[in-house]
Amino acid sequence: EVMLVESGGGLVKPGGSLKLSCAASGFTFSSYAMSWVRQTPEKRLEWVATISSGGSYTYYPDSVKGRFTISRDNAKNTLYLQMSSLRSEDTAMYYCARQDYRHGGFDYWGQGTTLTVSS
């Protein structure tokens, strides 16, 4: 059974940093591109970052480029998201998601971890 378990969320002050983790199991982690997707309090879904299966390539939308860094450790079956210069608009539930290489959709999602950016 595919499982993705996020951790690391919390309350951070504006300008602060935080690192999220996603532990993967039930599939060959090193064979899949992985992504982070967030859901705002208004329930809007936003793609945050994607990393290739081997970790060589990363992709970000302009809203987080330069502030967020996605990485992975295939030996530990773990995905990470390092977030810095956090803003109130980064407040959201952050989901780890597996990306299906056939079509680019997200076929498995974790339960999410919540980030709140507030003073």
Partner 1 sequence: DIVLTQSPASLAVSLGQRATISCRASESVDSYGNSFMHWYQQKPGQPPKLLIYRASNLESGIPARFSGSGSRTDFTLTINPVEADDVATYYCQQSNEDPYTFGGGTKLEIK
Task: Output 6 or 86, the one with its CB closest to partner 1.
Answer: 6
* Contact yes or no for 79/21 (Cβ under 8 A): yes
Q: Is 28 exposed, middle or buried (0-12, 13-18, 19+ CB in 10 A)?
A: exposed
Q: Which is nearer to partner 1, 86 or 96 (CB)?
A: 96
* Options 110, 113, 115, 117; binder of partner 1; rule CB under 8 A: 110
15-23, 24-32, 46-54, 71-79 -> range binding partner 1 (CB under 8 A):
46-54
- Using CB under 8 A as the binding criterion, the count of chain residues that bind partner 1 stands at 21
80 contacts 20 by C-beta, under 8 angstroms: yes
Nearest distance in Å: CB 75, partner 1:
26
Stretch 51-70 residues interacting with partner 1 (CB under 8 A): 59, 61-62
94 forms part of the interface with partner 1 (CB under 8 A): no
Check residue 27 for interaction with partner 1 (CB under 8 A): no
Tell me the CA end-to-end span of the chain in Å, nearest whole number.
40
Q: Cα–Cα distance between 28 and 69 in angstroms, integer?
A: 23
**What φ, ψ does residue 114 adopt, rounded to 5°?**
-95, 130
